[in-house]
Structure 1
């Protein structure tokens, strides 16, 4: 059994210690450190890097948002799950653009918290219904703009064709292969071919990661 190394970062001591007690119930979790601020987090990750950071968004001093930007740059392999009382669409959009791997409300139940941690570790991202709704809203805004014949992502040296973008947008909407084929009037095999090309071009592993890639590179408006 793989033991996940976790860090808990929150400026409210009672919440932080309560979360740690919950995590200690699970044999495959090890809380290797806790921190009360973004500054303390950045100091400690240099000595004992965790697999996943459970990070409060609003803290005194350096915010979770500022700390996330630095972690994504200096420790790109480290996964970040935001825990916040602020579950507004604006905050979710901002943090998804930064590249965090999950965004959860602080009043989340224990079962979903464990599910999120495990999925972030195994698949790279956790997306619940609320975040999916935010992405769908962003996609609707994007679709109102005039479509280009091709989309160039210069930072990644990637060019997506018009059809690949159409398939990607439908994936972001949560469509499966059959639904995409029906929507675009193309065959199931053709859709699978476009999906495979998208995975190869972007270098990601699955559809959820494609959605995150689309957000990160502003292929849908946030």
Structure 2
């Protein structure tokens, strides 16, 4: 597997050094960039090209949300994992809408962090059970007073989804890549990508993360 190039952005030197030390112990990673602020990150991006950025949420100057927005506008292919001690539904939902690919607490177990990095790099997103619960509760609270005349009907959507689209949706939300889904369902990669495109169109989602958010919000996986 290709070595994953990592950037660590955090204003606490000790945390950056500790995280760098931990990740260097695992094969398949290379720390190519360390920065104490978003401004330092963008300055170094002129010469370094990380695949995954581990980004602090609260930093002096540009915070993690602002940095993620700018970073994805400049480099849409880059993957972002937010590391924070704050597990606020509002922050998580907003960051997922911005387009970040994962959200983890700073006290996460090192093996889980490494797994999250690999999933974000290979599959496009990582959502653990805690974040999924936070997303579910936050979305339910936010939309509890939404009128019934919504622009889509979930029951109609479930009716419109084909059996294969439901299978693909379930596996996508479980973190499988398109190649893995193709192998698991004994269909071609191109066919999986076609089903994925149809799912995005039917749900109005823009990427795998927002598709997972849609599924969590409407309890689609419970109904499939």
TM above 0.5, yes or no, is: yes
Once residues 122 and 60 of structure 2 are traced to their aligned partners in structure 1, the CA distance between those partners, rounded to angstroms, is: 32
Which residue of structure 1 aligns with residue 146 of structure 2? Answer: 145
Tell me the secondary structure at the aligned position of residue 46 of structure 1.
coil
Matched, 1:100 2:100: yes
Deviation at 1:147, TM superposition (A): 3.4
1:8 shift after superposition: 0.5
Give the number of equivalent residue pairs.
187
* Shift, 1:135, TM fit: 2.1
- Contact kept? 1:82, 1:100, Cα under 8 Å: yes
d(CA) in 2 for partners of 1:149 and 1:69? 28
Q: Distance in 2 between matches of 1:115 and 1:167?
A: 34
DSSP-derived class of the 2:146 partner:
coil
Check 1:39–1:176 CA distance in 2 against 1; reply closer, same or farther (3 A cut). Answer: closer
Counterpart residue number, 1:16: 16
Structure 1 length-normalised TM? 0.72
RMSD: 3.4
Name 2:199's counterpart in structure 1: 198
Please state how far the C-alpha of 1:91 moved relative to its aligned partner.
1.6
SS of residue matched to 1:122? helix
* Structure 2 unaligned regions, length at least 5: 162-168, 172-194, 220-224
Unmatched tracts of structure 1, length 5 or more: 152-159, 169-174, 178-193
Given the two structures, how large is their TM-score scaled by the length of structure 2? 0.71
For 1:145 and 1:211, how far apart are their aligned partners in 2? 20
Deviation at 1:93, TM superposition (A): 1.8
Quote the residue 1:163 is aligned against: 156
Equivalent residues in 2 for 1:63-142, closer than 5 Å? 63-141=63-141, 142=143
Alignment of structure 1 residues 27-66 onto 2, 5 Å: 27-66=27-66
1:15-38 Cα offsets, whole Å, 9 max, x none, are 101100111112210011100101
Q: Given the superposition, is the C-alpha separation of residues 48 and 134 from structure 1 closer, same or farther in structure 2, using an over 3 Å criterion?
A: same
